[in-house]
Structure 1
């Protein structure tokens, strides 16, 4: 797997793990598998520095006397995104964007990432 590194503006290799059934995985002669985990690995909490993470959050904008309440779709780590909001995948975010009055955030780039797909 490959991913962009925004700090160096390069592409680098990333670790990729999958679970295989016993039928899919066959031992290689001469290789010892004593250190291979046989239990599910614990998911670590993502940090804001992980540039290859794609998740979205929805912010409700309250109604005022001049406009109705609306929603804004943000990239998960946007400063404007509510910290306690549920993280959505791209399909759920696009469903929200299809509703009338919902806008993607231009500050975090949600408009660039999701705009062509909506």
Structure 2
């Protein structure tokens, strides 16, 4: 097995060889309250400290408003680890967050019809 020279260590069968707790320095709680649907966006401010590769990748994903869940999926990391990384970026001013908008009422007929129409278009 060989590791790529410019990316994270990966194994085709095992996936990432660096464990998530290593990425977050053993932290399991972010300093900023983030929901999976919270939107994050880069501020353009360059952090004073050197960014770890995972922090830099997360910051690159935030040029446009992006949900925490989407960043986690692109990084291929658990959501809690991604929240820790993003909260580090918030703490240094490189990223801003916005809480998700209010959820639609799941019993509202117009919402259900819109979802049904969207699903029918996909099929």
Q: Normalised by the size of structure 2, how large is the TM-score?
A: 0.25
Name the structure, 1 or 2, with higher relative contact order (CA <8 Å, separation 6+): 2
Q: Normalised by the size of structure 1, how large is the TM-score?
A: 0.26
* Bigger radius of gyration: 1
Compare the two structures and name the one with the higher strand fraction: 1
